[in-house]
Structure 1
């Protein structure tokens, strides 16, 4: 059962096997596990593994070796591998050279160099002779931090054992030298690879180019690239991607653009990586027409944009002051399940608000808020000012209610004044209560504004009554100006009810003054 088979179909066939002797056969299960692992269905393979044990099957060494191979390509693969290894030992099964080789590969792919060394030495102590695969996996572990000293010793040890380094081994050694900063030695090894016929594709050149570029030696990287082009080395565009990205990082945008154009003129094979790289080059060079063509090409080739694609475009549209286009791109990004960076959101919110696109600014704010990431405290107040300016007071109320502790008193006062002047009258009491709950002391001017609005709309007298009844319990009373306004319109609530309410407020007022005198 190989990579060509549909793993879902294979699993379905297995689950529908009626003959128990066939279904409860370890070899059959191992074949299904192998198919799942080869097709990247690690979680499905683990579920089947647990099902095997529940059905009374006892996993063998092949079972564990198959599952360990899957640990090389999953997140936290090393810890999962160790769990499987402990279970293998508890079942009194013995590790063999295949198991050790897989463990070395897991350690290398998860950057556990020391653990890889320990397994390698343990394998030799148990009498197993390392083969080229074992040496290559440990060498790959050394490449993580460019440990060229240990790498050279390992290669020498391998040669002493009578093994000859192959293409993979020498290419991995080149990676070690590059990451260790030994560029002259890397060039010498690249020449050796060329002489052996191991540099027919672009990978060794790309390793050296990438290392040189990241070390700031952009011209040396370019020289390697040009040498590769002259030799007509087989390329899938990875070398172009490295050089275009390197030019962009170095601020050489015209060179990046030109190389992207050269790629388009020469190659007709695209993937997401190269398209993102070219898109970045065109954006940095300010080539709007090329940017739009590249986006159209992505659609035609059915290549779905990723997080990087969206960020490249949004940054570019913001730079070009095309803020609504940046907003629509971010909206599309959010719909496709990608979360934009907070810094990018904050910048776009500011520019949208500044250019009068207040609803769009609030939409970006909500994208960030619903992503459940920690937000910069100042962003809540920034969006509040934008919403007040755009008279989106209902949305402003949501911001204040949910983030009252993070908003300054002047901003809270500005919001309250704006809402009580022209916000939805049905929400005035809710706004007052929310502001009070935040710890902000409501001043008499705000109460006067609320009472005045209710009086001008007699049909809202119930809301006025609720406000006046709520105030004394929170230590608030109306001042003389508001009191006179209420008395002047006593017919609204009825003279008797008005008198009762104001009498209660007067009692509370006397109690408050008395308390203040005692405190003095």
Structure 2
């Protein structure tokens, strides 16, 4: 049967390209496409740089490496720059966090506070910070640092490797600089401790907060409770709940759900059931989170019968999510099949959960049957449906099918998450589906979400490999500040040779505007292409007239080529243009 016969409706709109056989072991085949072996295609962009090391001179007995000399030169240029933004764009890529920390201290010593803040913001945006960057910045800024800015730096610090301990050091720095802790900063600190599972530290800060006369709110109680949940410390959690109530605060949905997590992780399943009933009575159990917490705990404890009883009582299948997280995929699949046989009634939530179970178990035939069932019942897919299917088909290396689903998802107004999009972009690029990769890039680019800047350069390389030079030009034109100089050079060289001749001048202007110094090889290639097509002589004339104003002049090789074909523009006009370029070139050399 064809997927299109199942999915070619108003809900799933696919093309008649993918064939699936009725055998459960068969998968859709895509003509002329060999499935590449999956590999890790991108690194964690938020991971921290290695710890800073002092910027030391190498041993005098050992010659400097080229990379060291290049970094040293860039560091000095940055310190002396009058246009920091432009210099960072040109030199920032080759400098390491420890190099930039030196510049931070340099600006601090000179009292260049604006440069200091500008550089630190750039370092954060481009992932060029390490633990020392934060402490350096806070030390040199001292009391000039506002509480709001300090909190922002603190939040940034806790995201780096071992950043929690660096953040605690910065708390001392904050106090040294005269900035007092308040409810907001204590709230952030408690949340950090909770996310790191540091319950004792969280409790100490909670007590310290009260000792300083600050009154905890529900957020503070929730964070401390969350810290207790890491090891299921239900005794301290119960004491905290008593304190919360005696303070006059009423526990909300977040507090009670977090308490449920404590009981589940502490193995108090009977107490968990009672609390779940309380959540239901208060109307706090309308979504699946409380049920999943309990069923996840039961399934991990090997108490699958009890997990099934929770499932049966509620007439829902949310338990399959817990089973899947425990990697009990066959159990989840069987439970989905049992539900179908027993109840024979569906809604979107049920079908999505069944779909998830079948996808995790790798049961293609059941996946297709579930999708067919959605069509028969006129149930429209939602974000979760599309997300489940795209991840599944990517896992099965059916990247073109995943692309078609993502295309339909985008058409329905849903925005896929960035990591999923980019993973698909990389795989489509590897299988030479370059235009499809660019289409996914555009879905991501025009969504309301902020896109990681490194993605622009990656798609540029894919487009160059696919010879989609016009699309590559659009990427460079709109995002040149986020693309490295080597990548721009690669694009420019390819476009001059193979790109649309009518856009050559536009491309040269864009790459010049990006700060890239156009080399003579590019001009020679452009001029050669224009001369080879005499009907493009106006474009040649425009290029030659534009060059002197930007400080460019053709070299002797290109000059001789133009003179050899001077009849194209006319001998007199050719002589005038080359004369102007020669005068400009001589003037530039004399200034040096």
Fold shared, TM-score > 0.5 on shorter chain:
yes
In the alignment, is the contact (CA less than 8 A) between 1:148 and 1:176 conserved in 2?
no
Counterpart in the other structure of 1:187:
270
Matched, 1:236 2:315: yes
Contact 1:209 1:225 in 2 (8 A): no
Q: Kindly state the Cα deviation for residue 408 of structure 1 after the two structures are TM-superposed.
A: 1.0
Counterparts of 1:333-412 in structure 2 under 5 Å?
Answer: 333-412=409-488
Q: Once the two structures are superposed, what CA deviation does each residue of 1:3-23 show, in whole Å capped at 9, x if it has no partner?
A: xxxxxxxxxxxxxxxxxxxxx
CA contact (8 A) 1:174 1:189 kept: no
Return the offset for 1:154: 11
The TM-score, its normalising length taken from structure 1, stands at 0.61
**Is 1:483 equivalent to 2:566 in the alignment?**
no
1:224 aligns with 2:306: yes
Task: Compute the displacement of 1:455 (Å).
Answer: 0.3
- Alpha-carbon offset, residue 341 of structure 1: 0.6
The answer to whether the Cα contact below 8 Å between 1:420 and 1:446 also exists between their aligned partners in 2 is yes
- Name which of 435, 440, 460 aligns with 2:516: 440
Q: Which has the higher contact order (CA 8 A, sep 6+)?
A: 2
1:285, distance to aligned residue in structure 2 (A) = 1.0
Task: Report if aligned partners of 1:212, 1:221 keep a CA contact under 8 Å in 2.
Answer: no
Relative distance call for 1:225 and 1:448 in structure 2 (3 A) is same
- Sort the Cα spacing of 1:477 and 1:264 in 2 relative to 1 into closer, same or farther, 3 A: same
Please report how far the alpha carbon of residue 234 of structure 1 lies from its aligned counterpart in structure 2 after TM superposition. 5.0
1:272 to 336, 348, 359: 348
| Shift in Å, 1:290 | 0.8
What do the CA deviations read for 1:441-469 (whole angstroms, capped 9, x no partner)?
00000000000000010011000000000
How far apart in 1 are the matches of 2:496 and 2:315?
64
Distance 1:255 1:427, change over 3 A: same
1:147 Cα shift?
6.6
TM-fit CA distance, 1:373: 2.1
Is this contact kept in 1: 2:260–2:276, CA < 8 A?
no
On the 8 A contact 2:348/2:379 being kept in 1, the answer is: yes
Change in CA separation of 1:252 and 1:461 when aligned onto 2, cut-off 3 Å: same
2:260–2:275 Cα contact (<8 Å) kept: no
Aligned residues: 350
2:394 is aligned with 1:318: yes
Following the alignment from structure 2 to structure 1, what is the Cα–Cα distance between the partners of residues 435 and 577?
41
Q: 1:507 aligned to 579, 583, 590, which one?
A: 583
- Contact 1:209 1:224 (8 Å CA) reproduced: no
Rate the CA distance shift 1:462–1:190 in 2: closer, same or farther, 3 A: closer
Q: Which whole-Å CA distance do the structure 2 matches of 1:222 and 1:381 have between them?
A: 48
Instruction: State the match for 2:292 in structure 1.
Output: 210
Identify the structure with the greater helix proportion.
Answer: 1
Q: Measure, in 2, the Cα distance between the counterparts of 1:448 and 1:416.
A: 13
Alpha-carbon distance between aligned partners in 2 of 1:506 and 1:207, rounded to the nearest angstrom: 74
1:206-231 deviation per Cα after TM superposition (whole angstroms, max 9, x unaligned): 998633444475245523134568xx
Larger Rg: 1
**Deviation sequence 1:234-292 (CA, Å, 0-9, x none):** 5432xx22x21111111111111111111112121111112111111111111111111
Q: What SS does structure 2 have at the residue aligned with 1:384?
A: helix
1:174, distance to aligned residue in structure 2 (A): 9.8
Q: Which stretch has the larger CA shift, 174-183 or 263-272? A: 174-183
